Structure 1
Amino acid sequence: MFGDIISQITDELSTDECKRLFYLCGALHTDTCSTDLRTVLHSVLCRMTHTDHVFLTELMLRIKRYDLLRDVLSTSKGTVEGMLENRGVVSEYRVLMADVSEDMDTHDLKSLTFLLKDTLPKQKMQNIQSFLDIVVELEKVEQLSSDKTDGIEHLMRSIHRADLAKKIRHYQQKVLNKKRETSPAVKQQLNTPASVKRSLEVSSSVSCNTTRQVHKLCDKRTAVRKEAPGVCSQQIEVYSMQTDPRGVCLIIDCIGTDTDALEKTFTRLHFHVMKHKLLSARDVVSVLMDVARQRDLYSSCAFICCMISPSRRSSHLLDTDRHGPGLNLDTIRHLFTADSCPGLAGKPKLFFIQTYDVPEPHRCVGFRGHEDGELETDGPAMFCRARSIPTDADIFWSHCCSQEKQLKTPEHQSVYLNALTSALHDGHIRRTHLLDVHTAVNREVFQHNSKFPGSSVLNLKHTLRKNIYL
């Protein structure tokens, strides 16, 4: 009986509807013909006991074929929706991706394929006909899954589809809430029911084998990171970036340079930017303390601080008149550690500092009498004359020390800050890890130094415990 029903249904479906239906069934090949789709559906339903009718009616509801619900399955949209309130069979993640695909137009698809040209193989991109084709390819190289949707959300924002990004964000929050409410055993369940999974393994063995080969052969450059065994490993390895805005970005410029590009970059990265120019050392401390006390930090996912200032011995910021002992860089870091700023405990604190060394060093006691220490790190480090910061978790410290004479050059622009804004923009589009973003910055500074030896020294230290993607 079900064989006849399936035949009636598939005979009425368009090619795009067949693709959506096949994807909703859990397959990673959406270009299969309707005959194969009919085989998969029949195999799935034959192995299910009491949910076969529910599964089929839900599929028709998800692809919005209400006429088939009425004419073939003898039910209605309202009836099925009521029946599925608490016991849907189809994966919520796959329903989301299918719905997003339906809302994408040709222009959006072209924009996405352009952004992904360096992520997916060229031959695959040439065959893209729908958003679901992109989803499938991203799933194959493990850059998209039910637990890893940040990247696709960022892509939606990059092509100015905030409505679709909002849909994905809502799903992310829903998944997060479920994980908080359920036990560890429940967290490790697969997207599809066990009965559906067993059926797909039998009827789509060729597809599964092909997928495994893709995982083995895919270019290492397309992988976001090496995944540790276990379903929940990526939840442990990646800092959450779920809030909007993601956090505060504080820009303090004691020189008066053009920081518009820096401000625009972090605004695009969904940070609330606060910018201050030409402050005295006392005012710098006041601003830093005010920000560190903000209650908004408790609901933020990260904090960013950008400093541009003259300095002594590369470790003490000077105010606008360049007199006095200056402000110890260690003081800035200390104000935002977990002890001083509980709202940022366990969250990434990113510091991007451009200083210009001024002669005649003076001894300086840091604010609160805090002494310099050593930052232990597994990450790459390019040591310069600056003292390193004390050991604290979740800190990313990028400091470029340049010669003061550069400021006398007409229309001077910091090579470091220009490279940083460019690399952050590219990293956001390509979903690149922050350390890899900084590698691109280091490359630009190195190339500049090869033309103008000794002009800048870049120092990177970090105590990040997880991966971070901006």
Structure 2
Amino acid sequence: MFNPRDKETRKQAMGIAAELSQEESAVVVFLCMDFANGYLVTGEVKELFEILSKQNLLSLDLLTELLYRIRRRDILRKMKVDVFSLESDLRSGKGYISSYRQLLVDISEGLSQEDLKSVLFLLGCQIPKGRLETVKTFLDLVVELEKAGKIDESNLAAVEDCLTNIRRIDLKRKILKYKQMGECVNSVRRSNTYQNVIPISVPQQECGFGPEHVGQNWEMSSVQPAFTNQLLGQHVHSNWPTLTIVSSEAAGAAALSSPVHESVQATAPGTSCTVRQCEPATYNMQSNPTGLCLIIDCIGNDANLLKETFEALHFRVLLHLYVELSEMEKILKETSERDDLAALDCFVCCIISRGTWDYVLAVDGNIPGLSSEKIQSYFKGQNCLPLLGKPRLFFVQNYLEPTADSELEIAGVPSNGDPIEVDGRVWGAPQEADILWGYCRVSQNLLHQVPQQPSSFMSTLSKCLRKHQRRWDLISILTEVNRKTMSMNQPMPLILQHTLRKKLVFP
């Protein structure tokens, strides 16, 4: 039966739509995508309101909440909305918009133009190239990542890693709190008789509307009152309340647009004191695949063994056999420019070749060949931005021409220690950070003594990686590799140099 009130609500919604800017309209559409995405065609807010009206989902409560979310206090005042009652309702769980949507809007608002460029660069490779041309904002990118199945309300790892890479720990903190509160809410739900529960949080910024609220933040409750699903059978996403930043940080809220480099301040649930929360002590190794492994075997003995090993460690493997020096340089450069590196958590490069004391010569034996510094340079700093902050591991077996008085000694890799700049922002660690160089030099005579046999170094490395996977960190594994190779009849010590800042454990 026709309800005159519905007509009045629709008329009011169209009036609101006319007052919104293009950016505000885009945010409103994004906030409502959980229950209108299947009907939206153009993404316009007027179309959204028409669709919600036809589906009997448009209500005054939804309109006022959307205005509150986009901070249009002026329109709320015109509508004579009791804002304090609205805030109270939202804090008690009477709301429509999921915390997942609000979280992403908060992150979008916190990104500077320089940050946005970096985010689009790092995550853009995860969506089809044809769609990337339409992506102009962070929320546009989120929609495409959702379509591609890369993120959802329970999986924000890609966004979290990206924020870490651009040093926006303050924005990553929002995701950590969202996840923490999600665990709390899920725990309560398991024992809650009410199933249609939608706890919701008010925006973390500009929560108050009167002078007495200026500079204050709400402490959100995880209490979940019963609230009947008003979306007529539409799926309602879990709505996880978000803890705000503690009052000791409120005075510095304006500084949150600047990156936090080393640590963050978090509020422990249910307390008002601050808890020091350091960055993880281990590298993130959760992407699927875990990373990319480049194998360049100019001898031909180790390729298959290494391929099996790193595939068992869930790496995507690129294999090249018997390459010339110029081709090796081309392979290294093209690999460092791959689009999929941003989505991976680790990079490994294995090179087996003849060489001199300081150079790899490939199959053609041209001198000088490639130095360790040259090989690493393709994957450092500005040359490979998607791998910033991620471990890059190099394992090299070099077969040397025998010399009478050669001694194995560590040749240091020079480092300028200079930080690099990404889109105008200084990266907190120098470009040498997060690199491991494992180098084994042996006599070329071994190729004649044990033809077609894998090198002792690569063989031992493979066995130890697979044996101690998920149990030992990489440095402990390499210590074991060195112990085993040094105990052989012909000692082959592993020269290990690294600038890893965390422990690395293969999944």
Shorter-chain TM-score: what band? Answer: 0.3 to 0.5
Please identify which structure carries the higher helix content: 1
Which has the higher Rg, Structure 1 or Structure 2? 2
- In the superposition, the TM-score normalised over structure 2's length comes to 0.44
- In the superposition, the TM-score normalised over structure 1's length comes to 0.47
